[in-house]
Amino acid sequence: MLAFHEFVALVARLDRMGRNRGFTAALVQIQREAERQRKAELAATTRVARDAERAHRAYERAQTAEAKERQRLYVESRLADVELLNEELQDDVARLYRLLADTLTVDDFLDFETLKEAAPLPIFAPEALTHPEPPPSPDGFRPPEPTGLRARLPGAREKYLAKWDEGRVAYEAHVAAYKEREAERQLRLAAAQADHQRAVSEIDARLAAQHGEVEQFKGDFHAGKPAAVMQYFALVLEASRYPDGFPQRFRLAYVPESHQLVVEYELPGYSRVPPVAVYTYVRSGDKVTNKARPVRERHQLYKSVVAQVTVRTIHELFEADRESLVETIVFNGHVETTNAATGKSERPCLVTLRTTRETFLDRDFARLDAEACLLDLSASLSKSPAELVPVRPVLEFNMVDPRFVEEADVLSALDQRPNLMELKPGEFESLITNLFTKMGLETRMTQPSRDGGVDCVAFDNRAIFGGKVIIQAKRYKNTVPVSAVRDLFGSVHNEGATKGILVTTSGYGKASFDFANDKPLELLSGTNLLYLLKEHAGVGAKIEPPEHWIDPKQDTGPAHWDEPRSSS
C-alpha cells in the first residue's frame, strides 16, 4: 500500500505522463513499478529469514559442540584425578617397601655443632643519623656589594651596610639552629648505637648460653651419662624421616653398666598399609571406584613394614654411635590399638630382639631382607602382625625405666631404702627368694654360693611353659664376667632345667649377651632387679656399692643343687 507522499508523487507523475503519453499507459507503468517494489521487498524479507535461520542453526551447532567439548574436558579432568590418585598410591606403597633402603643413604651421626644456634647479628645502619647536614654558608647571607654608578648614589653605602647586618643576624640564627640539630643528631646516633650494642650483646649472651648447654650436653654424652646418652639417641630417632602416618614415638633407657640401650618404639597400625590396589573412573555413573588390595599381600606388606622399621631403627642408633657407648640394643616394637571385644586400649608387642653391635652390623643392609635379618638375629616377630598376634618382649621397658636409676641418686644421704650392697648375706638371700616366690615360682634355697651371691632352684608350675628354673643372684659393683653366664648355662644343662636366670646388682657386657643369645638364659641387671622388687615384692631398694667394695671371685667348677622340698 502506497504512503501518502508516495501517492502525491504518483499523481504528479500521472499528470506529467497523461500530458505526454496518456493516462492509461501511465497507470500500467505505475502498477509494474509497484509489483517490482513488492517483489523486491519480499525477496529481501526471505533473504533475511534465511540468514536468521542459518545463524540460529549455527548457534545450536556451536552450543552442542561446546557441550560436547565441556563433557570431554570434564572426563579428561576426572581421568587425570584418578591417575594422580593411582600415582600417589603407587608412590606410597613403594616408600613402604623401601623404608630400610631410604635410611642407608643418610648418615645418622648427629654433629653437636649443628645443635648450636647461629642467629644473625643486627646490622647498624641508621642512614639518616650517620650523615650530618652541611653547615650554613655565610656566602648565602651576604648582600652583593654595589658597584659602578649604584655605588655612587646617595645612601648606597648605608643601605649596603644595613643589609649586611641583616644577613649577619640571619646567618648567626641559622648557625645556632644548625648546631641544635647537629647536637640532637649526635644524641640520637649515640642512643641508636647503644641500642644496637645492647641487642648484639643480648644475642651474643643467648648464643653463648645455648652453645654452653650444647657443649655440656656433648661432654655428658662422651662421659656416658645416661640422661645425655638417651637425649642424643632421641634426637637421632626424631631426625629420621618417615612417610606420613608413622607415629615416631618412643621411649629410651640406657644401662651404663652393660652399655645397653633399651628402645620401646611405637609402630604404625595395620591401617597404614593402603587397602586399595587401584582406582578406576566409571564414566557411566561419573564415579570413582577402587579395587581392594589382596588381603595376603596387605598382610605381608605390613609384616615387612614392622620388620623394616625394627632393622632401620637399630641401624640408625648404631650408625649414630661413633663413640661406641652402646654395645647392646634391646628393641620392643608396640602398636597402639583398641581391643574390639573390650573396647579398651592395648599395646601388643609385635617384634622384640636383643642384639649386639658386632653381630648386627656384620651384614650388607643394601641387599638383605628385613624379615630374614630378624630371623638371623633370633628376634621374635609376630606370626601375624596384621592380626596383632603379640610376642613376649625379651626385656620389659619398665624394668629399665630410668626413674629407678634416678631415684637412687637423689638425696641418697636421706634415702631410707635398704641398700642391697649393705645387706647381710642371709638378708640378701631371703630378699631374692621372696622376690621370685612373689613372682609365682616355687623357690628353695640351696647351699650357699661360694662367690657371696645367691643360688636357688625353683619350679614354674605353669603347664607347657613351666619347668625347673636355676636362679643365681650376684652382688657385683663391676660388670659381671661372661664366665658367670657360662657357668649358669652349665648348671642349667647339668640339672636338666628349662631355664636359667642370672640377677646382678651391676650389669653385663656384650660377650655375656652374645653367649646368652638363643639359649634358655635370662640376664637381669641391677635396674631390672630394683623394678622387680618394687613391682612384685613391694620393696623399694637402692644399689650403692660402698667405696671399699670388692667383687667376689667367680665360682669355678660344676655346681651342685638340692632338690626343693615338696610344696605341701
CA dihedral 134, 138, 142, 148 (to 10 degrees): -100
Instruction: Give every CB contact of residue 160 below 8 A, 6+ residues apart in sequence.
Output: 143, 145, 146
Contacts of 401 (CB under 8 A, 6+ apart): 253, 527, 531
Closest CA to 525 of 365, 405, 444: 405
Other beta carbons less than 10 A from residue 110's beta carbon: 18
To 5 degrees, how large is the angle CA 207–CA 211–CA 216?
Answer: 150
Q: What is the pLDDT of residue 563?
A: 37
From the list 524, 414, 515, 431, the residue with the least C-alpha distance to 476 is 524
> Is the pLDDT confidence value at 68 over 80?
yes
Query: What is the per-residue pLDDT across 335-369, written as a single tens digit (0 to 9) for each?
Result: 999 888 888 899 999 999 999 999 999 999 999 99
For residues 506 and 525, is the Cβ–Cβ distance under 8 A? yes
Neighbouring residues of 519: CB distance < 8 A, sequence distance ≥ 6:
489
Distance CA 495, CA 490 (A): 9
Length of the chain: 568
Mean pLDDT of the chain: 84
- CA 319: distance to chain centroid? 19
Task: Please determine, for residue 445, whether its predicted confidence score (pLDDT) is greater than 90.
Answer: no
Grid coordinates belonging to 392: 613376649
What pLDDT digit, counting tens, does each position of 494-518 carry? 888 888 999 998 888 888 888 888 8
Give yes or no for a contact between 67 and 218, defined as CB atoms under 8 angstroms apart.
Answer: no
Contact 327, 259 (CB under 8 A): yes
Residue ranges of the alpha helices (H) in 452-523? 482-495, 510-516
Of the two residues 218 and 167, the one the predictor is more confident about is 218
Please list the residues that pair with 508 across neighbouring strands: 480
Reply yes or no on whether the pLDDT at 144 is more than 80.
yes
User: Looking at per-residue confidence, does 548 or 553 come out higher?
Assistant: 548
Which pLDDT value is given to residue 557? 42
pLDDT in the model for residue 20: 56
pLDDT of amino acid 362: 93
pLDDT per position as a tens digit, 153-184: 887 788 888 888 888 888 888 889 989 888 88
